Amino acid sequence: MVSKFLLVPEKRRILAPPFAWIDRRFFFSGFMARLSAAENLLYFFLVLVADKDGLSYYSYDKICQFLNISADEFISAKNNLVKKNLIAFDGQRYQVLQLPERPISAPPRLQPDSDQRRNELASLGEILERVRVRQGGLTS
């Protein structure tokens, strides 16, 4: 059994309203693993800025500015979070929702698909060819 104690007791975190929190199931039930980097970033941002009911009112341009993401990345992330039932959006307000029983999408594939794999191999082949040409040029 691990001995549990605070490393810096005088700086113990105290949750007082308003506060942000993320349900541990977000990580342990696989929600986080099923989101893209932009989706996770947007989700965490909305959790951080939301009021006690999960509502926030930031405009998309402010969110893009804070998160350093493009409008396209934002729109895709927002739409996917809505589809995955993690947030609601009415055109002006966002609401972080209670986590569903299970994540809504399939887990990410760990193996690249054949097209992606072919592209990676082609890129690797191109790199090796450049190295070979450079080495040939140096020895000639």
Same domain as 23, residue 79: yes
Task: Give the model confidence (pLDDT) of 30-66 as tens digits.
Answer: 999 999 999 999 999 999 999 888 999 999 999 999 9
Mean per-residue pLDDT of the chain: 83
- pLDDT value of residue 94: 96
Cβ atoms within 10 Å, residue 52: 8
Hey, what's the torsion of the CAs at 36, 38, 41, 45, to 10 degrees? -130
Q: What is the percentage of the chain residues whose pLDDT exceeds 90? A: 52
Same domain as 120, residue 64: no
Separation CA 96–CA 54 (nearest Å): 5
Q: What is the percentage of the chain residues whose pLDDT exceeds 70? A: 74
| Amino acid letter for position 103 | P
Q: Residue 116 above 60 pLDDT?
A: no
Same domain as 119, residue 72: no
Phi and psi at residue 2, to the nearest 5°: -80, 135
| In a domain? residue 122 | yes
| In a domain? residue 5 | no
Q: What's the total number of domains in the chain?
A: 2
Range of the domain at 125: 109-140
Mean pLDDT, rounded, for 4-30: 83
Residue 112's pLDDT band, with cuts at 50, 70 and 90, is low
Same domain as 138, residue 104: no
